[in-house]
């Protein structure tokens, strides 16, 4: 049974706010609305040891407003120019709103490539987690000025879902100008009913999600469903709700029935392990001694370099490697924190020696248990 009473216990949110909400029908940023969302986010952050990442659309729309353009440009160079112009006002607006509540912010610009390349993925994860540890609110946007693939892809919903994977968020909230996901198009069918909750992999949802999209934004409900399924890889639940609803984030935090709640069909740990086991290509092998094999199989431990006897193949930080016993049998696979060259230098060594050998120490574990799946 799907329940909403787990939402107040969530500790880490990713909140994405779409262009149609951020701009007052193309008349510039709606700063009053921004202040309202920031007050709700700040209240939630202050209520308990909570963490939040904000994924903000609106750079192109703000740039359009500043340039007096009434229609979204189609030429790539014009889109990039609008993003560059609008990013200034967008970030300044969020910073000033959070400053009112005594909260520091940080701008994080990424592309989809940053989150698909495993080495850059880990770098981004380390940065975001450090910001969260410092109590800073990261404001994430696509780096539209230098990238083009995400402009053609056309939405920040998937970016928000990838960020949710990145920080292992408990909840992804997609604020839009629609009340949620309906079983038919409510604009043409007065009998359309809001889907209050469902398992994210329910095949019926594909028929419900249309391809409609607004004048300023690029994503429709289909992209939000796709984003919810991406987020579910790490066990993250998703709420799709209207940002125009009064106190919408407060109501989500209280577990009220607002918008559409889409939940993974697996527990967070199992979902991530399944993703690691089935979605990645192995780049190399680590040969483990008996103690390391026992620690993984029986103790549920992370893999330490001290238990590695040999390194096979070439791999970079963040790529998937197989962990095998001395007979060659595969024990596990996971995302490695050091390259093959670095691993060869530190194998058999305790973590306390990493800095002396490499000149730095990034992680204590060769593979953290959260990034390792037993086979």
Domains along the sequence of the chain with CATH: 7-272 (3.40.1160.10), 280-374 (2.30.130.10)
**346 with 357: CB under 8 angstroms?**
yes
Task: Provide the CA 5 distance to its chain's centre, in angstroms.
Answer: 23
Spatial distance between the Cα atoms of 195 and 42, rounded to a whole number of angstroms: 29
Tokens of 292: 């390391």
- Report which of 348, 10, 329, 308 is spatially closest to residue 172, judged by C-alpha positions: 10
Quick: pLDDT tens for 46-60. Answer: 999 999 999 998 888
Quick: pLDDT tens for 87-137. Answer: 999 999 999 999 999 999 999 988 766 766 666 777 888 899 999 999 999
Confidence at residue 344, expressed as pLDDT on a 0 to 100 scale: 96
Spatial distance between the Cα atoms of 215 and 188, rounded to a whole number of angstroms: 18
Which residue is listed with tokens 């409510």?
Answer: 186
Decide: helix, strand or coil at residue 162. helix
DSSP H or E stretch at residue 139: strand 137-142
Decide: helix, strand or coil at residue 82. helix
Decide: helix, strand or coil at residue 193. coil
Question: pTM above 0.85?
Answer: no
Spatial distance between the Cα atoms of 235 and 233, rounded to a whole number of angstroms: 6
- Report which of 305, 273, 311 is spatially closest to residue 291, judged by C-alpha positions: 305
Spatial distance between the Cα atoms of 36 and 202, rounded to a whole number of angstroms: 34
Spatial distance between the Cα atoms of 79 and 84, rounded to a whole number of angstroms: 9
- The number of CA neighbours under 13 Å toward the Cβ of 18 is 28
Confidence at residue 130, expressed as pLDDT on a 0 to 100 scale: 93
Quick: pLDDT tens for 253-267. Answer: 998 989 999 999 876
pLDDT, average across residues 272-278: 63
Q: Which of 26-30, 54-58, 305-309, 370-374 has the highest mean pLDDT?
A: 305-309
């Amino acid at each position: 049974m799907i329940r909403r009473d787990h939402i107040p216990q969530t500790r880490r949110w990713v909140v994405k706010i779409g262009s149609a909400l951020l701009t007052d029908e193309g008349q510039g940023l709606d700063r009053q609305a921004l202040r309202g969302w920031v007050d709700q986010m700040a209240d939630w952050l202050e209520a308990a040891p909570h963490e939040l990442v904000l994924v903000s659309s609106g750079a192109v729309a703000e740039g359009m407003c500043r340039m007096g353009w009434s229609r979204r440009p189609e030429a790539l160079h014009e889109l990039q120019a609008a993003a560059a112009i609008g990013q200034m006002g967008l970030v300044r607006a969020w910073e000033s709103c959070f400053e009112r509540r005594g909260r520091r912010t940080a701008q994080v610009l990424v592309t989809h490539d940053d989150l698909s390349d495993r080495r850059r993925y880990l770098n981004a994860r380390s940065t975001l987690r450090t910001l969260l540890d410092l109590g800073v609110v990261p404001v994430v946007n696509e780096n539209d000025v230098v990238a083009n693939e995400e402009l053609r892809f056309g939405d920040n919903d998937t970016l928000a879902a990838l960020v949710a994977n990145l920080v292992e968020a408990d909840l992804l909230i997609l604020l839009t100008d629609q009340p949620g996901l309906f079983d038919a198009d409510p604009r043409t069918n007065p009998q359309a009913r809001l889907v209050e909750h469902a398992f994210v992999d329910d095949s019926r949802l594909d028929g419900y999600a249309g391809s409609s999209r607004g004048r300023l934004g690029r994503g429709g409900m289909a992209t939000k469903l796709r984003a919810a399924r991406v987020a579910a890889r790490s066990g993250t639940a998703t709420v799709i709700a209207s940002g125009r609803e009064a106190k919408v984030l407060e109501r989500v935090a209280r577990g009220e029935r607002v918008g559409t709640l889409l939940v993974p069909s697996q527990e967070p740990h199992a979902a991530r392990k399944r993703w690691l086991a089935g979605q990645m290509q192995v780049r190399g092998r680590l040969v483990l001694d008996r103690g390391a094999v026992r620690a993984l199989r029986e103790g549920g431990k992370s893999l330490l370099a001290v238990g590695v006897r040999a390194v096979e193949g070439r791999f970079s930080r963040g790529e998937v490697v197989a962990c095998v016993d001395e007979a060659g049998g595969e024990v596990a696979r996971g995302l490695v924190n050091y390259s093959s060259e670095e691993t060869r230098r530190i194998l058999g060594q305790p973590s306390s020696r990493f800095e002396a050998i490499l000149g730095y120490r990034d992680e204590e574990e060769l593979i953290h248990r959260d990034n390792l799946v037993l086979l």
